[in-house]
Structure 1
Amino acid sequence: MTQRIRMGSILLLTALAGLFGAVAPAQAELRVCNETANLVSLSLGYRAERGWMSEGWWQAPPGDCRTIFQGDLQKRFYYLYAVDDIGGGAWDGQVFMCTRDETFTIFGVEDCLARGYERTGFFEIDTQNRSDWTLQLTESAGAPSIVGPDLGEDLEDPAFLVDPDAPLTPDNTDTQ
């Protein structure tokens, strides 16, 4: 009887070790969560190897999150433009990049209109050199607000308020 209990315990421990060994490490990424009541479309801008780049569109239904950059975040600053597809309004800023209505990947931020694109104001996301970042788009008293990780918070469940009215300058450059 004790031999059966020992064998059962060894099999259980082996099964548990296999389960824990099979768990993949968390993947780093930039995620945006839509905490509003409406569908939101997202566009991302950042400095790539070939220079400035903007791409979009990802759609985030209410209460859902979208990964808009997969892998370790190599830069400190990323730029986001999001629009409420139903109620209008946008989360935008003063860092201008090129966009268009259809799905796009655009290199360069200069002469958007002359190149047949729209000139769109993005707001800056300071990832504080972390490799993983989650941003939440929320509505506060009818006005959009932005929530992201705080240095003191656990990276798995980040939350702090970012002032959406903070001035952004077009000469914010990503030096890393």
Structure 2
Amino acid sequence: MILQQLPITPRLARAIALAGVFCLGLALPAPANAELKLCNSTASRIGVAIGYKDKDGWVSEGWWNVDSQSCALLIQDKLRARFYYVYAFDYDKGGEWGGAIAMCTNDVEFTIKGIDNCDGRGFKKSGFFEVDTQEQTDWTVKLTDQSETAPAAPTAASGAPPAADAPAQAAAASAPGQRRR
């Protein structure tokens, strides 16, 4: 059997070129995930709030409810800042993970612009701990029970630089990632 050669029309040439581009797209690697994630390694359900500085100033957001032994995606985008701030509390056993950085929170879901005069604006002032992402685009924070050992995030006390324009210090801090009662 003799195969006849098909004439290459402009329409067929475009279809072949588009098929090649499509196949090339399938061969390229998918973009890497960029995110700030928090993992709850405790036996309790926890509530989590974060703070960060955006182009307009300081922002705090909450609440993410994170079940025991699970993770929550706090920021689903390339991390744009080196320093983020976390505050969490244990719904089941009490206690909290906090630090020396004062930011505003609320009892219900919130996004709060600014960190000044929390009480005067109808919010609570909570102490957040600093997370140094070391300018990575993807970072995971792990919260543990007090009896567990968690790697400590760098802090000014351990020799890492403090965040530029960091918010004011709050009351006594606990070790980052470990529950304080």
**What is residue 113 of structure 2 aligned with on the other side?**
107
| SS at structure 2 position matched to 1:68 | strand
Note the residue ranges of structure 1 that are not aligned, 5 or more in a row. 1-16, 148-160
| Cα distance in 2, alignment partners of residues 164 and 130 from structure 1 | 14
| Cα distance in 2, alignment partners of residues 22 and 104 from structure 1 | 39
| SS at structure 1 position matched to 2:49 | strand
| SS at structure 2 position matched to 1:114 | helix
| Cα distance in 2, alignment partners of residues 97 and 81 from structure 1 | 9
| Cα distance in 1, alignment partners of residues 156 and 57 from structure 2 | 26
Q: Are residues 1:97 and 2:87 paired?
A: no
| Cα distance in 2, alignment partners of residues 47 and 74 from structure 1 | 9
Of 50-59 and 20-29, the range deviating more from structure 2: 20-29
**What is residue 77 of structure 2 aligned with on the other side?**
71
**What is residue 47 of structure 2 aligned with on the other side?**
41
**What is residue 6 of structure 1 aligned with on the other side?**
none
| Cα distance in 1, alignment partners of residues 154 and 56 from structure 2 | 29
When the two chains are superposed, the root-mean-square deviation of aligned CA atoms in Å is: 2.6
| SS at structure 2 position matched to 1:162 | coil
- Once the two structures are superposed, the pairs formed by residues 12-161 of structure 1 within 5 Å of their partners are 21=27, 24-141=30-147, 147=150, 161=151
**What is residue 5 of structure 1 aligned with on the other side?**
none
**Counterpart contact for 1:29–1:71, Cα < 8 Å:** yes
| SS at structure 1 position matched to 2:128 | strand
**Counterpart contact for 1:52–1:109, Cα < 8 Å:** yes
Structure 1 residue 139, shift from structure 2 partner: 1.2
Structure 1 residue 164, shift from structure 2 partner: 9.6
> Which 4+ runs in 1 deviate beyond 2 A?
20-26, 163-168, 172-175
| Cα distance in 2, alignment partners of residues 138 and 117 from structure 1 | 27
| Cα distance in 2, alignment partners of residues 79 and 163 from structure 1 | 11
Percentage identity across paired residues of the two chains: 42
**Between structures 1 and 2, the one with greater strand share:** 1
Note the residue ranges of structure 2 that are not aligned, 5 or more in a row. 1-22, 166-181
| TM-score normalized by the length of structure 2 | 0.69
Q: Deviations over 1:10-46 (max 9, x none)?
A: xxxxxxx89x748633210000000000001100000
